[in-house]
Amino acid sequence: MRRTPPWRHPEQLQPEGSKVPGFREQKPNATMSGFDSNPFAEPMDVNPFQDASVTQATRGASDGIRDYNPFSTELKDRSETTIPISAVSSQPAILQTSVEQSSQASAAAAAGQANLVKQQEELERKAAELERKEQELQNRTPQNTGVKENNWPPLPKFFPVKPCFYQDFEADIPEEYRRICKRMYYLWMFHSVTLFLNVLACLAYFTVDSQYGVDFGLSILWFLLFTPVSFVCWYRPVYRAFRSDSSFSFFFFFFVFFFQVAVYIIQTVGIPKWGNSGWIASISMINTNLAVAVVMMVVAGFFTVNAILAVMLLKMVHYKYRRTGASFTKAQQEFSSGVLTNRTFQSAATTAAQGAFSSN
């Protein structure tokens, strides 16, 4: 049986290579190990881990591992005391700049989208307005023919005489010329009313003195003649000129309207026996009949207003004419092309040529 050295208790033995707290590693003494062992004794299996100190140390370690709980309250308390990352480190300035730029870009994109939607709505509104006007023009025009139906003068349908002209300022006249064209139309209406009042004044003039019957007769003639002639000779040409930018119509209007201004001046003067109750004729009636003189003075004032408006509108039309780019050369070209393509002129020329050849 192996003997234990007297200076070392068996329980205090520490296996070689193991470190147990509370014990110092004791290296075996080589000089005494040979004397302490019995070479003739049977070998004895010694388990170094059965030592009491080793068993106690290993049991404590295993118990600690078994008792370990990662979800215990102690660990939770430690996690709660952990300093958050946001409190330690702040957000980088580059990231903040990128976020601001992205927000600004999104705001700009939203504003651009809203602007595009607004423009789309405006275009749709204009398209609807153009479609409405086109529909109105189609309704005014007969479906079977491309010729516009005459609408002036606006006579009742049961009337035996039908309208002779087509007139539509909104459809025919450009917007920049529409106002001056309407003013010319109002001047013609005022001119017609003045001629009608002149007939009444000359009638009163004739009732006072029978020798002024000539004035009454001529006033009727002027009313029946100058009312339609002025419409055809100077109002319709200026209407066509503004409608189609016709140089020939402009020159024809200027030529005729110049004489119309001269007629207005003569009517304003009121020469006796000329069929006009102007200033001279009305003033001569003051001593004879004051009431008739007042009526004639009112008509003389109407003639004066006609003359002033005619001069003003003539200057305005001339100003518009200079802006249209019309010229005398264009007027000649339009006249020549219009005469040569006119069917009446062609038929008259053909008839004359046939008569000339047949006579030969």
**Contact 300/282 with Cβ under 8 angstroms?**
yes
Q: What is the pLDDT of residue 96?
A: 53
Q: What is the pLDDT of residue 202?
A: 94
Residues 189-205, mean pLDDT to the nearest whole number:
95
d(CA 315, CA 319): 6
227-247 confidence digits (pLDDT tens): 999 999 999 999 999 998 888
Q: What is the pLDDT of residue 67?
A: 56
Q: What is the pLDDT of residue 220?
A: 95
Q: What is the pLDDT of residue 300?
A: 96
Residues 77-104, mean pLDDT to the nearest whole number:
55
d(CA 262, CA 260): 5
pTM for the predicted model, two decimal places: 0.56
Closest residue by Cα to residue 218 from 272, 258, 261, 269: 272
Closest residue by Cα to residue 266 from 208, 310, 207: 310
C-alpha separations of 276 from 19, 187, 229, 343 in Å: 148, 19, 18, 41
Closest residue by Cα to residue 171 from 127, 137, 128, 135: 137
Residues 29-48, mean pLDDT to the nearest whole number:
53
For residues 191 and 119, the model is more confident at: 191
For residues 93 and 166, the model is more confident at: 166
d(CA 352, CA 345): 10
- DSSP states along 272-335: TTTT---HHHHHHTTTT-HHHHHHHHHHHHHHHHHHHHHHHHHHHHHHHHHHHT--HHHHHHHH
* Mean pLDDT, the chain, integer: 75
Question: Cα 275 to the chain's mean position, in Å?
Answer: 57
Give the range with max mean pLDDT: 52-66, 79-93, 227-241, 319-333: 227-241
Q: What is the pLDDT of residue 291?
A: 93
Q: What is the pLDDT of residue 343?
A: 59
Please check the confidence at residue 339 and state whether its pLDDT lies above 80.
Answer: no
Phi, psi for residue 3 in degrees, rounded to 5: -100, 145
Residues 183-196, mean pLDDT to the nearest whole number:
96
254-293 confidence digits (pLDDT tens): 999 999 999 999 999 999 889 999 999 999 999 889 999 9
Give the range with max mean pLDDT: 9-13, 25-29, 71-75, 138-142: 138-142
d(CA 300, CA 304): 6
Residues 140-154, mean pLDDT to the nearest whole number:
66
Q: Where are the alpha helices (DSSP H) in 28-92?
A: 30-36, 52-67, 73-80, 85-88
Please check the confidence at residue 18 and state whether its pLDDT lies above 60.
Answer: no
Least confident residue range of 84-93, 135-144, 305-314, 316-325:
84-93
Q: What is the pLDDT of residue 180?
A: 93
For residues 354 and 204, the model is more confident at: 204
